[in-house]
Structure 1
């Protein structure tokens, strides 16, 4: 069984392994001991905090295989972005050039640098190890976050965003960045991504073009990947779209991957989750659900086949599942149908 829990310091080596496996373009997991350990410490502080207000917090979770006690994935939530470090995006827009005298009318696409998502909550750092990419694992690793957020709305913003990894090749080269590198920067794409992961963002403000970029001036290869996602990211994007996330024209400044957004209360899992009382007994046949306790520091979530009594607002758990979820008879759990 796969179980979601908050990360802890003893997970450092597992997180490092995930960071190494994630490869190029995954800015939220730099392969750096000091930064990874700092991220774990920051997450531990957030989970232990009793202050149920919107702060600059990071909630980082891991997925654990209960049979082997091996960490096979990670998933995170930044409660707010852009308040301490700039949160840059390009916004896709249009301008029209028209000459009455010549009777020439042209509409062109432009990219405008901005910080429009400052203060939003970001879901991030989702990565599932290749050996665990099967069954319901990907769906659990993505959707449980919305159960957690729905149970703790005061800790998160009304707007939730997710940056999707853009197109790059097996060597970490991005067609979009190649054009920016040629004209404005003098560093390879992996180096730029690594700098951002290390928190070194000042070079963006210093070197990034301040005025709108005419998309037609980009190379054909760069234009083709604007708003497109990395092959490995397509399943994650599909899950978010099912939850109600959509792209409003914002793309990443490095690889032009899309940023999708949703209002917290409009996210499908947040809207449809139900809280039920726990009854301890023998599990009977039923539907598959994502189920979690209502804790913060001791948060647990998993997928299980459950029998739910809607009239009594009760759900039956056997002793093993109740123990995994850290709940007892009469306690409360949050559930959402897996499909």
Structure 2
């Protein structure tokens, strides 16, 4: 079977809805709500149709398609500037050090401060792979295709980029972090708050969240244990982000306490190492394993393939990849080593 990433279309709604029902909660960018998903696809359509080089408030949705059956088996998203429609809140974990000469004692207290430091950054998010396809490197294809998209449309993205990882969710679908921090002020369960945020945005956080720092030592043990810890299903994603150059710098999701990873956009490995070249042949046998992409905006496609880069700036790829991308000799493709 051959898979490719492509721009999402309105006809993908039911595929996205069926996948959204499988996320298990805590997945704000893929809510199991047809109206919210329809708005997301409409916003993506607007972003794909704006063919200029200006940084704006765009959201792009990509889907993973089985080229043989046409089934959509995964999705991912890109946001060009967070915090434009609503403030983009994070908790920042930092340390306050105090010293008493009389006691000859130094005390270090960890604090959670509500901040909007990451406002204006780009975000990669919304990555979900159908449970039946979690093999064969498709998760890596989903994740890294986003970076090729950014490289191919660099002017549409900011100089800083972030990725939020889902935090720990317990067996009943709740969040120990939410229960220990924000839940005390909102009178809402984690599921209720998470769903409301996915549908309506998080302005209610600004309205009701205490603005003073929270002392970590005052939280219950269950909440403290999950601060900055990714959901078990997100550990591999965290490792992939680290390989791309993302780092955890103390920023946390305000709902579930999951880590927010950040990087300089131009330092992300798959963006930095990507190359554009003219296609010289589509019948390569052998070669190096790579991700290969083509097309602007709504015509974007990306798939695994084999490549051979020539000194004259051309590239040869294998026939299977060329068929998945729908490219012929003379077309421009972007690629990065797998």
Alignment TM-score > 0.5, same fold: yes
The corresponding residue for 2:238 is 237
The corresponding residue for 2:5 is 4
Provide runs of 4+ in structure 1 moved above 6 Å: none
State the shift of 1:158 in Å. Answer: 0.2
In the TM superposition, what whole-angstrom CA distance separates every residue of 1:118-147 from its partner, at most 9, and x where no partner exists?
A: 111010100001111101201110001111
State the shift of 1:171 in Å. Answer: 2.1
Report whether the alignment pairs 1:151 with 2:152.
yes
Indicate the SS of the match to 1:234.
Answer: helix
State the shift of 1:294 in Å. Answer: 4.0
For this pair of structures, how many residues does the alignment match? 337
The corresponding residue for 1:131 is 132
Q: Within 5 Å, give how 1:107-126 maps onto structure 2.
A: 107-126=108-127
The corresponding residue for 2:310 is 310
In structure 1, the gaps of 5 or more residues are none
Indicate the SS of the match to 1:64.
Answer: strand
CA distance in 2, matches of 1:136, 1:94: 39
In structure 2, the gaps of 5 or more residues are none
Indicate the SS of the match to 2:297.
Answer: coil
CA distance in 2, matches of 1:50, 1:27: 28
What is the alpha-carbon root mean square deviation over aligned residues?
Answer: 1.4
Indicate the SS of the match to 1:198.
Answer: helix
* Kept in 2: contact 1:294–1:334 (CA 8 A): no
CA distance in 1, matches of 2:258, 2:159: 23
CA distance in 2, matches of 1:75, 1:55: 19
Change (3 A) 1:295 1:206: closer
State the shift of 1:201 in Å. Answer: 2.0
CA distance in 1, matches of 2:187, 2:102: 42
State the shift of 1:320 in Å. Answer: 5.4
State the shift of 1:96 in Å. Answer: 2.1
The corresponding residue for 1:247 is 248
Q: Within 5 Å, give how 1:92-107 maps onto structure 2.
A: 92-107=93-108
State the shift of 1:269 in Å. Answer: 0.8
Change (3 A) 1:284 1:105: same
State the shift of 1:182 in Å. Answer: 5.5
* Kept in 1: contact 2:166–2:258 (CA 8 A): yes
* Kept in 2: contact 1:278–1:333 (CA 8 A): yes
Change (3 A) 1:327 1:282: closer
The corresponding residue for 1:141 is 142
TM-score calculated relative to the size of structure 1: 0.96
TM-score calculated relative to the size of structure 2: 0.96
Indicate the SS of the match to 2:222.
Answer: helix
Q: Within 5 Å, give how 1:205-284 maps onto structure 2.
A: 205-284=206-285
State the shift of 1:332 in Å. Answer: 1.1
